[in-house]
């Protein structure tokens, strides 16, 4: 039987996938010149912008699109048949965040590729594949689709990290990430298979219905239809799979080496796009399929959140390398995003999403400035930032603003309100201990953010290298400006984020 496909629903990933093919073809037939690099970058940028227009239009029309549904006759459950691909509010928010960050990553890539031997066709192809996965993932409503989308986000990134040929650090990063990823995927697949075995369905809504029909009651005299022990194992295993994506404890070890070894745009991609995708999947599984089992996963997530933010911040404290510091700080930020989910209150998902959106803006901005500074040469140590405010006032002020946002202090009001939203959710949910842990963590984090910010304004002893200009520089300037505009807008009117997240 032939399934009807709603092409309007899948327009966003479809555009990205088509553009990926176009880029590969163009690369094969265009001459290998500097201009081709720029052309490919612009084509990719156009593709991402076109894909970004899709969620904007879908949001304006307000329609809830669904496709790849189980045909009505084959559905075993009463009610509307489950679908594999649903475009709803959550999908649009996550899709838009991933694509908006994608625009910045493409701009950073244009600067990166202008001066290196990385093959541009492969680079942009892989980048578009990752974005296609990141857009598909929040729309997925069955386990198989989720796993495939998650792999589509991860696999191209290994290659991206290793594309800088003959670079030992890059190869090491790619290998490390590949190994951790494969292990976590295997673990997750095991959990997924258990969930399927327990409920007989892969569709998230069907799983929720099946589990709700067989309530988890440890003390019940009648043996429950779903064994609690097996369900717990399944939940923990699935959690573990996503924990890798968002670099949560205990799957956080790869972050430092991989971020540092990979080119800066890839690090930015990992810290925002790949992380957003991971959170989308986590939120979908926890709040759609396992909504009734919050008692089971809530405490686990809360403990993971506390461990993640503490580990990330403590590791970031001792870093001397800018990208490594951002790597560990983004691990810590993952912990803050996880925290409301651990309380599992009514407003938990909007709180997490609001934090994620604001985090995406400020973190991608920080990476954009780091990319700009790394072009000046040097090893991108924190000491290279000494006196940046006098050499390049605009990027320096932008970086200072992003760092203060990440620390959550005024004038970085967006980061502060993001933290307040999360704190409110935790306090309202009654998890006082988690709130205290997070409070202490914000203080620890402030130490390294403020130390870095202070370096920007300390006079440098060495004369500054003159910054280059050209298309690469202007791409970076646009990237920094985009991050800055978003962060300032969220600072002045945080309601923007809160209303779309809610």
Partner 1 sequence: MIAMLAVPLLGAAVLVVFPGPARHPWYGAAVSGVTLVLALALAVRFDHTRAARPQFTVDVPWIPGLGLRFHLGIDGISLPLVVLTALLTFLCFVHLVRHRPEQGRIRALVIALLVLEVGMTGTFLALDLLLFFVFFEIVLVPMYFVIAVWGGAGRRAAAVKFILYTLLGSALLLLGLLLVWAHAGTLDMVRLAQAQGAGLSRAVQIIAFLAIGLGLAVKAPMWPLHTWLPAAHTEAPTVGSVLLAGVLLKMGTYGFARIAIPVLPEGAAALAPWLGAFAVAGIVYGSLACLAQRDLKRMIAYSSVGHMGFVLLGLATLTPVGMNAALFGNIAHGLITGLLFFVAGGIKERYGTTELPRLGTGMLARLPYLGSLLTFACVASLGLPGLAGFWGEMLALLGAFQPAAGLSRPLFLVFMAVGGVGTVLTAAYFLRMLSHLTHGRPPAGTIGGGSRGAALLDVSAYELAAWTPLVVLTVVLGLWPKALLSLTDPVVQAYLGTR
Measured CA to CA, the distance from residue 210 to residue 84 in angstroms comes to 17
- Which residue among 259, 336, 367, 417 contacts partner 1 (CB under 8 A)? 417
Interface with partner 1, residue 457, by CB under 8 A = yes
Do the beta carbons of residue 69 and residue 240 sit within 8 Å?
no
Per-residue HEC secondary structure of 235-302 comes to: HHHHHHHHHHHCCCCCCCCHHHHHHHHCCHHHHHHHHHHHHHHHHHHHHHHHHHHCHHHHHHHHHHHH
Do the beta carbons of residue 335 and residue 465 sit within 8 Å?
no
Interface with partner 1, residue 495, by CB under 8 A = yes
Interface with partner 1, residue 302, by CB under 8 A = no
Interface with partner 1, residue 89, by CB under 8 A = no
Query: Closer CB to partner 1, residue 247 or residue 351?
Result: 351
Of residues 354-393, which lie at the interface with partner 1 (CB under 8 A)? Answer: 354
Among 71-79, 200-208, 334-342, 433-441, which window interacts with partner 1 (CB under 8 A)? 433-441
- Which residue among 10, 332, 413, 475 contacts partner 1 (CB under 8 A)? 413
Q: How many residues would you count in the chain?
A: 502
- Which residue among 71, 197, 250, 410 contacts partner 1 (CB under 8 A)? 410
Interface with partner 1, residue 314, by CB under 8 A = no
- Which residue among 152, 423, 482, 483 contacts partner 1 (CB under 8 A)? 423
The per-residue b/e assignment along 262-295, b for 16 or more CB within 10 angstroms, e otherwise, is bbbbbbbbbbbbbbbbbbbbbbbbbbbbbbebbe
Measured CA to CA, the distance from residue 13 to residue 48 in angstroms comes to 10
Asked if residue 411 has a cis previous peptide bond (ω within 30° of 0), the answer is yes
Among 19-27, 35-43, 205-213, 411-419, which window interacts with partner 1 (CB under 8 A)? 411-419
- Which residue among 80, 411, 465, 470 contacts partner 1 (CB under 8 A)? 411
Interface with partner 1, residue 220, by CB under 8 A = no
Interface with partner 1, residue 486, by CB under 8 A = no
- Which residue among 409, 475, 476, 484 contacts partner 1 (CB under 8 A)? 409
Among 77-85, 144-152, 272-280, 438-446, which window interacts with partner 1 (CB under 8 A)? 438-446
- Whole-angstrom CA distances from 379 to 19, 106, 322, 326, 385 are 34, 23, 9, 15, 11
Interface with partner 1, residue 443, by CB under 8 A = yes
Query: Closer CB to partner 1, residue 197 or residue 447?
Result: 447
Contacts of 80 (CB under 8 A, 6+ apart): none
Among 52-60, 102-110, 112-120, 418-426, which window interacts with partner 1 (CB under 8 A)? 418-426
Interface with partner 1, residue 424, by CB under 8 A = yes
**Chain centroid to CA 31:** 35
Contacts of 226 (CB under 8 A, 6+ apart): 198, 199, 210, 211, 214, 216
Site map (CB under 8 A) of partner 1, residues 141-170, x = contact: ------------------------------
Could you give the angle at which helices 11-29 and 120-136 cross, rounded to 10 degrees? 170
Interface with partner 1, residue 446, by CB under 8 A = yes
Six-digit token string for 214: 């067989």
Among 10-18, 54-62, 212-220, 487-495, which window interacts with partner 1 (CB under 8 A)? 487-495
Q: State the nearest-atom distance from the C-beta of 446 to partner 1, in Å.
A: 5
Measured CA to CA, the distance from residue 309 to residue 293 in angstroms comes to 24
Number of residues that bind partner 1 (CB under 8 A): 33
Interface with partner 1, residue 420, by CB under 8 A = yes
Do the beta carbons of residue 423 and residue 473 sit within 8 Å?
no
Q: List contacts with partner 1 (CB under 8 A).
A: 354, 397, 404, 409-411, 413, 416-417, 420-421, 423-424, 427-428, 435-436, 439-440, 442-443, 446-447, 450-451, 454, 457, 493-495, 498-499, 502
């Amino acid at each position: 039987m032939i399934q009807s496909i709603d092409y309007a629903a899948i327009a966003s990933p479809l555009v990205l996938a088509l553009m990926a093919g176009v880029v590969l073809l163009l690369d094969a037939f265009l001459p290998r010149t500097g201009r081709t690099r720029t052309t490919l970058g612009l084509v990719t940028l156009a593709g991402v912008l076109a894909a970004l227009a899709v969620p904007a239009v879908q949001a304006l029309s307000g329609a809830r699109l669904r496709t790849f549904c189980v045909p009505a006759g084959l559905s075993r459950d009463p009610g509307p048949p489950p679908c594999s691909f649903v475009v709803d509010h959550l999908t649009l928010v996550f899709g838009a965040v991933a694509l908006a960050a994608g625009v910045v990553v493409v701009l950073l890539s244009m600067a990166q590729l202008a001066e290196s031997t990385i093959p541009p066709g492969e680079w942009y192809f892989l980048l578009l594949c990752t974005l296609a996965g990141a857009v598909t993932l929040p729309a997925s409503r069955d386990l198989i689709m989720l796993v495939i989308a998650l792999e589509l986000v991860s696999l191209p990134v290994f290659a991206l990290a290793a594309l800088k040929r003959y670079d030992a650090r890059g190869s090491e990063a790619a290998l490390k990430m590949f190994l951790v990823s494969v292990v976590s995927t295997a673990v997750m697949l095991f959990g997924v298979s258990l969930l399927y075995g327990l409920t007989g369905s892969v569709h998230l809504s069907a799983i929720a219905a099946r589990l709700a029909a067989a309530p988890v009651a440890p003390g019940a005299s009648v043996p429950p239809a779903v064994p609690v022990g097996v369900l717990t194992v399944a939940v923990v295993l699935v959690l573990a799979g996503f924990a890798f994506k968002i670099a949560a404890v205990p799957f956080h070890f790869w972050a430092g080496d991989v971020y540092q070894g990979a080119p800066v745009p890839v690090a930015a991609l990992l810290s925002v796009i790949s992380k957003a995708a991971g959170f989308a999947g986590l939120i979908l599984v926890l709040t759609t399929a396992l909504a009734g089992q919050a008692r089971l996963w809530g405490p686990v997530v809360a403990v993971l959140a506390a461990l993640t933010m503490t580990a990330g911040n403590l590791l970031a404290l001792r870093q001397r390398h800018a990208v490594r510091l951002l790597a560990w700080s983004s691990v810590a930020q993952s912990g803050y995003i996880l925290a409301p989910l651990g309380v599992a209150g009514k407003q938990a998902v909007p709180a997490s999403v609001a934090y994620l959106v604001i985090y995406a803006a400020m973190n991608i901005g920080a990476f954009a400035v780091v990319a700009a500074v790394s072009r000046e040469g040097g090893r991108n140590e924190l000491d290279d930032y000494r006196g940046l405010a006098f050499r390049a006032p605009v990027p320096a002020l932008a970086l200072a603003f992003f760092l203060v946002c990440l620390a959550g202090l005024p004038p970085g009001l967006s980061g502060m309100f993001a933290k307040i939203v999360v704190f409110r959710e935790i306090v309202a949910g009654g998890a006082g201990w988690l709130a205290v842990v997070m409070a202490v963590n914000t203080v620890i984090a402030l130490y390294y953010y403020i130390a870095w910010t202070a370096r920007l304004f300390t006079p440098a002893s060495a004369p500054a290298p003159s910054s280059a200009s050209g298309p690469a520089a202007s791409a970076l300037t646009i990237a920094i400006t985009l991050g800055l505009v978003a962060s300032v807008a969220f600072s002045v009117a945080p309601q923007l984020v809160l209303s779309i997240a809610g």
